[in-house]
Chain A
Amino acid sequence: MLTKMVFSGFGGQGIMMMGYALANAVMKDGHEVTLLPAYGAEVRGGSANCTIAISDDEIASPVASAPEFIVVMSTPAFLRFQNHIKSGGMLILNSSLIEGETIREDIKVIPVPAGKWALELGDLRVANFVMLGAFARLTGLVALKSLEEALVSLFPARKAKLLELNQRALRFGYQTIEKEEK
């Protein structure tokens, strides 16, 4: 089955890292994957987004017409991408930063206070991986363990502390959503 998703937010929020970590994890699980970063004359604080396609067969188009899942980390990303999502799809939004409600009635909207939870871990910068952990739990597309392992290849050995913090962020996002579901 082919599933497409978009991660979006501000440049500097670690959007590409979310995509890269997910692509690494699903590749190591033996799936086909394509990660397409939107590249423009982007800057820190500007817009950033990437499209990920996951399948067990050859992936034709790396571009998504209407993705099943969209994660928005900022208000501009929310306003821009809420219309793109497939009917019946899921919009996961960073409720620590995004105010306002979606105009769509045909999609599932899940608020995740990624910024708040990251601050509970002591570092706002890991909001991206808190969100990715929550994403993994909400979508069931990838195992938490696969993501944690994927991070090992993304952080150089001398940054063991950062690796540990980011893995903790993944677990925190995943498990907090899990608890809320119960």
Chain B
Amino acid sequence: MKSSANKVLLSGNHAVAEAAIRAGCHLYFGYPITPQNEIPEYMSEHLPKIKGGAFVQAESELAAINMVLGAAATGRRVMTTSSSPGISLMQEGISYLAALELPCVIANMVRGGPGLGNIATAQSDYFQSTRGGGHGDYRTITLAPCTVQEIYDLTQLGFYLADKYRGPVIIQGEGLLGQMVEPVELKEPDKKDLPPKDWALTGAKDRPGRMLRSLILEEGILEEHNWKLNRKYLEIEKKEKRFESFRMEDANLAVVAYGSVARIAKGAIKRVREEGLKVGMIRPISLWPFPGEAIRKAAEKVSQFLVIELSCGQMIEDVRLALAGKAEVNFYGRPGGGVIPNPAEFGRVISRNYYQKVRKAR
């Protein structure tokens, strides 16, 4: 029996906040939006008690992300959190953060869209998070947890990677994950081997001045800057891919799912395994960089892939790109903002795919 006795019970939202505070993030700027209001609530209670800590409820998401930018420029750890419509409003700031190479963590507890949508859980912001989101040639590391412990762990990892690679990191939460309550072990953050922040604007007393700017008009310099960013993104793609593999050892059908949907799909796979169906799952943990090699490698043994998402199909494009036609890719999805699917529903979909595709092929 795995012991949970030394853990604390936290909601996903509180886990984001607690992980950030323990990672040394004592500055928070945000604007309220359901379903992540427990994060600013928690921050507003705890940060003012910390020396040098600050919680500001900004007048808008635009103000919040630019306060994050200002604080990040001083080299302090800083975060903001929001949900889909609020994250859309922050995209300009995120593009500037990427251009200025400023570290920060942004958690998006995704809700139903487009527009104001509703407050129910969704996975429809995959494109926005993994393709940059704002203007310009940039990417943001995007981490997608599926348990409250993983929300805690990945939030701390997010701060580490933000400092290591100098840029904004997105924690791709979901409404459901923010509200869900589970035991969490409060680990201490990893801070080793981080580069010095020799770019931070800390006052130029006894040293030459520094400047952070994203307007680059000199001929050829912007191109050079973009090549530099690109080298960084290529390095991240090489080193920071993360995924979980579940029951893939003898699988004939591979489910690809992330976040809460991966949990529900795992429950479904356990059900169909009891009926003798050889089904496994690859769960991308980093959505960008996308763990394409793991999927391509699985295709050496598996010819059928089933992507399940709480959207009409976004991650499926990355799965198709990874497979490059090496295997058949099918899809099951429901738009976010609706009824939460259960393991029985996914089990029926997986069985149907299995009998129609895998059995037929033999």
B341 near A63 (CB under 8 angstroms)?
A: yes
Given the contacts A27-B183, A39-B175, A33 and B4 also touching, CB distance less than 8 Å? yes
Interface status of A140 (Cβ within 8 A of chain B): no
Q: Which of A53-61, A69-77, A88-96 contacts B (4 or more CB under 8 A)?
A: A53-61
Chain A contributes a number of interface residues (CB within 8 A of B) equal to: 28
Q: Which residues of B lie under 8 Å from residue A36 when comparing CB positions?
A: 176, 179-181
Which of B120, B180, B341 is A34 in contact with, Cβ under 8 Å? B180
B179 near A39 (CB under 8 angstroms)?
A: yes
Distance in angstroms from A34 CB to nearest chain B CB is 5
Which of B1, B2, B179, B268 is A61 in contact with, Cβ under 8 Å? B268
A56 near B1 (CB under 8 angstroms)?
A: yes
Chain B contributes a number of interface residues (CB within 8 A of A) equal to: 32
A65 near B182 (CB under 8 angstroms)?
A: no
In the bound complex, CA of A62 to CA of B347 (Å): 15
Q: Which residues of A lie under 8 Å from residue B2 when comparing CB positions?
A: 30, 32, 56-58
B183 near A33 (CB under 8 angstroms)?
A: yes
A63 near B182 (CB under 8 angstroms)?
A: no
Given the contacts A32-B2, A32-B4, A36-B176, A64 and B181 also touching, CB distance less than 8 Å? no
Interface status of B46 (Cβ within 8 A of chain A): no
Interface status of A99 (Cβ within 8 A of chain B): no
Given the contacts A27-B9, A33-B183, A64 and B342 also touching, CB distance less than 8 Å? yes
Number of A-B contacts (CB under 8 A): 85
B residues 1-17 near A (Cβ < 8 Å) are 1-5, 7, 9
B35 near A60 (CB under 8 angstroms)?
A: no
Which of A31, A35, A60, A65 is B181 in contact with, Cβ under 8 Å? A35
Interface status of A8 (Cβ within 8 A of chain B): no
A residues 74-119 near B (Cβ < 8 Å) are none
A39 near B4 (CB under 8 angstroms)?
A: no
In the bound complex, CA of A34 to CA of B177 (Å): 11
Q: List 29 A-B contacts (CB under 8 A).
A: A20-B181, A24-B9, A27-B183, A28-B4, A29-B5, A30-B1, A30-B2, A30-B3, A31-B4, A33-B183, A34-B180, A35-B9, A35-B181, A37-B181, A39-B175, A40-B119, A41-B119, A56-B2, A60-B263, A60-B266, A60-B270, A61-B267, A61-B343, A62-B180, A62-B260, A63-B342, A65-B344, A65-B345, A66-B344
**Residues of chain A whose beta carbon lies under 8 Å from any beta carbon of chain B:** 19-20, 23-24, 27-37, 39-41, 56-58, 60-66
**Residues of chain B whose beta carbon lies under 8 Å from any beta carbon of chain A:** 1-5, 7, 9, 35, 119-120, 175-176, 179-183, 260, 263-264, 266-270, 340-345, 347
